[in-house]
């Protein structure tokens, strides 16, 4: 995965890429749900050779069945070039409320043409290169851009850990992507599989974003970028 550009400012990205919602929970590094610590618990419990790093509100396409079962690893490896740390990006979309979730890429392309589906947050998913994906028949390498937070399937041994200093809502997956890219993980976009973000009936949480906490998290992310880059240089 190619590294391009500086880290994002506090207005870039979407989802976990921005914001600092105070949810009343507490973590070892301040208020907020210890989401990365929970992700690390889940990774330690993985009993398979491969893992998909997804959010609970993502719905898979039928093409993702290729990542299930005893032959999943072999099918995934056939999509990737040999050697090194590699993973598959699963493009993310959203559909209009009430629309059936597309099961296949053909169904998704029909919904996109009818303007009842769209890529989910181009700012945080820009490295996926959606225009290229629409025509893709083979996995193409993703490009790291500021604020990139893709959803990825990869060997569990290559996933690494999430930094547990990130708690609450903001920059936790972006930080993982940055560190993974600096440490040599190369990402390729799956040519047919994708995920769809479930619509939430209640978006009132947006009005409760803690802007002060969000700014602190952004500053923590900037420090983290420098920390990871320095550590990698020393190695």
**Domain residue spans of the chain:** 35-200+209-233
Q: Beta strands 86-89 and 152-155: pairing type?
A: antiparallel
Do residues 186 and 85 lie in contact, with contact meaning Cβ atoms separated by under 8 Å? yes
187 versus 10: which is more confidently predicted?
Answer: 187
pLDDT above 70 for 9: no
- pLDDT band at residue 28 using 50, 70 and 90 as cut-offs: very low
Could you report the per-residue pLDDT of 49-60, keeping only the tens digit for each? 888 999 888 988
Could you report the per-residue pLDDT of 135-162, keeping only the tens digit for each? 999 999 998 887 889 999 999 999 989 9
pLDDT above 80 for 19: no
- Based on DSSP, count helices (H) and strands (E) in the chain, helices before strands: 7, 13
Q: In angstroms, how far is the first alpha carbon of the chain from the final one?
A: 20
Separation between Cα atoms, residue 50 and residue 121, nearest integer Å: 27
- Output the pLDDT for position 112: 95
- pLDDT band at residue 195 using 50, 70 and 90 as cut-offs: very high
Average pLDDT over residues 17-46: 63
Separation between Cα atoms, residue 114 and residue 107, nearest integer Å: 11
- Output the pLDDT for position 96: 85
- Output the pLDDT for position 65: 76
pLDDT above 90 for 129: yes
pLDDT above 80 for 235: no
**Sequence-ordered alpha helix ranges (H) in the chain:** 35-44, 72-78, 105-113, 122-125, 130-135, 172-182, 211-234
- Output the pLDDT for position 188: 95
Average pLDDT over residues 189-214: 75
Strand partners, 59: 196
Tokens 């396409």 locate to: 61
pTM of model > 0.85: no
- Output the pLDDT for position 234: 56
- Output the pLDDT for position 139: 93
And the tokens for 176? 């993982």
């Amino acid at each position: 995965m190619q590294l391009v550009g500086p880290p994002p400012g506090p207005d870039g990205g979407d989802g976990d890429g921005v914001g600092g919602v105070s949810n009343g929970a507490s973590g070892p590094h301040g208020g907020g749900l210890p989401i990365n610590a929970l992700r690390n618990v889940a990774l330690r419990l993985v009993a398979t050779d491969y893992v998909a790093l997804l959010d609970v509100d993502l719905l898979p396409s039928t093409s993702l069945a290729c990542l299930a079962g005893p032959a999943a690893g072999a099918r995934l490896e056939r999509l990737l070039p040999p050697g090194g740390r590699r993973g598959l990006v699963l493009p993310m979309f959203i559909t209009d409320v009430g629309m059936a979730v597309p099961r296949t890429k053909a169904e998704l392309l029909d919904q996109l043409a009818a303007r009842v589906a769209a890529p989910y947050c181009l700012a945080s998913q820009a490295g996926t290169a959606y225009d290229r994906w629409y025509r893709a028949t083979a996995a193409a390498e993703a490009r790291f851009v500021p604020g990139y937070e893709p959803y990825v399937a990869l060997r569990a041994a290559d996933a690494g850990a999430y930094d547990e200093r990130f708690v609450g809502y903001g920059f936790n997956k972006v930080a993982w992507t940055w560190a993974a890219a600096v440490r040599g993980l190369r990402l390729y976009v799956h040519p047919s599989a994708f995920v769809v973000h479930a619509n939430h009936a209640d978006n009132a949480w947006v009005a409760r974003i803690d802007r002060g906490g969000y700014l602190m998290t952004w500053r923590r992310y900037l420090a983290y970028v420098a920390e990871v880059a320095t550590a990698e240089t020393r190695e």
